[in-house]
């Protein structure tokens, strides 16, 4: 967000406003909030957010064992989702081998703009 702060500060201001709205209207306890954010940060592969919400959960009374469980659960659910998505996307792979595949892309990436 550092580049956005410099070149598009209006965006980062709105982002901060959203954080404040979510905090003001939070209907779950802070520990649960940190657990959810920790899991989302893992899935988003955001190192700063993983660290922030790991620490945040510890500050709210979470144990390393609980966070390990959340981490394992996130990885397991992501693996299941990736498996289902991939199989669903590939569908009838035999048709793909025959060349009967349309990715739906209409943009010509070879055009020089």
Domain membership flag for residue 104: no
Tens of pLDDT, residue by residue over 13-30, are 998 899 999 999 999 999
36 domain-assigned: yes
39 inside domain? yes
Looking up residue 46, the CATH number of its domain turns out to be 1.20.1290.10
Domain region containing 36:
2-87
Instruction: Tell whether pTM > 0.85.
Output: no
- Asked, for residue 110, whether it belongs to a domain, the answer is no
The number of folded domains in the chain is 1
The span from the CA of 41 to the CA of 52, in Å, is 9
35 and 26 Cβ atoms separated by less than 8 Å:
no
**Residue 98 included in any domain:** no
Given a cut of 70, whether residue 44 has pLDDT beyond it is yes
């Amino acid at each position: 967000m550092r580049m956005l702060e410099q070149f598009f500060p209006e965006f980062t201001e709105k982002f901060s406003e959203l954080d404040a709205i979510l905090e003001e209207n939070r209907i779950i306890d802070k520990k649960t909030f940190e657990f959810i954010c920790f899991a989302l940060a893992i899935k988003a592969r955001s190192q700063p957010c993983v660290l922030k919400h790991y620490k945040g959960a510890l500050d709210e009374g979470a144990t390393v064992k609980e966070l390990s469980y959340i981490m394992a659960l996130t990885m397991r659910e992501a693996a299941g989702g990736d498996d289902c998505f991939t199989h669903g996307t590939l569908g009838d792979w035999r048709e793909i081998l025959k060349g009967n595949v349309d990715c739906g892309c209409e943009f010509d990436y070879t055009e020089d703009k």
